[in-house]
Amino acid sequence: MVIVMKENATDCQIAQVKEKLEKWGLGIHLSQGVERTVIGAIGKKKEGMLETIEIMEGVAKVVPIIQPFKLASREFRKETSTVMVGDVEFGGEKLVIIAGPCAVENEEQMIATATAVKKAGATMLRGGAFKPRTSPYSFQGLEVEGLKILRRVSDSVGIPFVTEVVNPLDVEKVAEYSDMMQIGARNMQNFTLLREIGRSKKPVILKRGLAATVEEWLMAAEYILSEGNYNVVLCERGIRTYETATRNTLDLSAVPLVQHLSHLPIIVDPSHATGKRHLVMPLSRAGIAVGCDGLLIEVHPDPENALSDGPQSLNFGQFEEFITEIKPIVTAMGRRLE
């Protein structure tokens, strides 16, 4: 349930409510806004609990949370959350553009990419150091050396970066180097990893699983939130269907649906959704039109010779054109790029 305190509720009254909830063995999640404080109480409801809390001093109202995802729900938080990564804000007025290659191959590649995408208008850099692949014989990433390259390039060019973490044992190391971490589709329900990310408090992008329902996706986010990390950004990246013409099927309906159910920001990855670079632009337009908070775009200096995901990657010139072409739609949706 959610306890909404009155605007003039005192610290003592808030503390009394928290103490009462803790005596019942409930988990407490405090959200203090500019105007009022909201207390989320997570756990098994007991008889008479709501009525007892409602009459306590300083309490405005008590709202039961019906959804199984408690902390991620709109019932817990009415306004859309914002997630900050340095100066980059997810869920704000500005549309976040994350761009870069699927995998870090060498420092020269990353310097060239970071410089080009930042100049074109990207907000953040992406690059994979740990790469879980379908085939064990495919390029698996440079691992820790890749993280070091990303950190040096990020600091040199002046653009924050996000990179994937795949092993719970690597969370601390990836968090040490990165500005933001990413949980890929294959790890969406790796619950040990989700809990470690939650404990790290590092901003994270949580991608939707290959065959995950929206509820399962939000329940995965709940694992991170329940550990005290509220810096969660969701990413729709396509789901597996019977269609084989594209790599996956981009579920654009998930964007407004998630925004109705949850307060978490949501971005779209049209590159992984389609696996085809000529489809990245039209699906990006559509993603912006349905209200996404950002786009995750694969960009490589030489896509034809990329070690992974070349067919879906834009080159530098194509990315510049991409930014130019989406600007009118961004403006029409009441958002901005700069």
Give 262-286 pLDDT, tens digit per residue: 999 999 999 999 999 999 999 999 9
Regarding pTM above 0.85, the answer is yes
pLDDT tens digits along 284-335: 999 999 999 999 999 999 999 999 899 999 999 999 999 999 999 999 999 9
CA 211 to chain centroid: 18
Contacts of 185 (CB under 8 A, 6+ apart): 207, 208, 209, 210, 237, 272
User: What pLDDT is stored for residue 90 in this prediction?
Assistant: 98
Structure tokens at 76: 């817990």
CA distance 28 to 15: 11
Query: Cα-flanking dihedrals φ and ψ of residue 133, to 5°?
Result: -120, 155
Determine contact, residues 249/220, Cβ cutoff 8 Å. no
User: What pLDDT is stored for residue 314 in this prediction?
Assistant: 98
- Domains with residue ranges and CATH for the chain: 2-63 (3.30.70.1140), 83-332 (3.20.20.70)
- Nearest 5°: CA angle at 231, between 230 and 233? 115
CA distance 44 to 27: 10
Determine contact, residues 147/187, Cβ cutoff 8 Å. no
Side-chain-side CA neighbours of 226 within 13 Å: the count stands at: 18
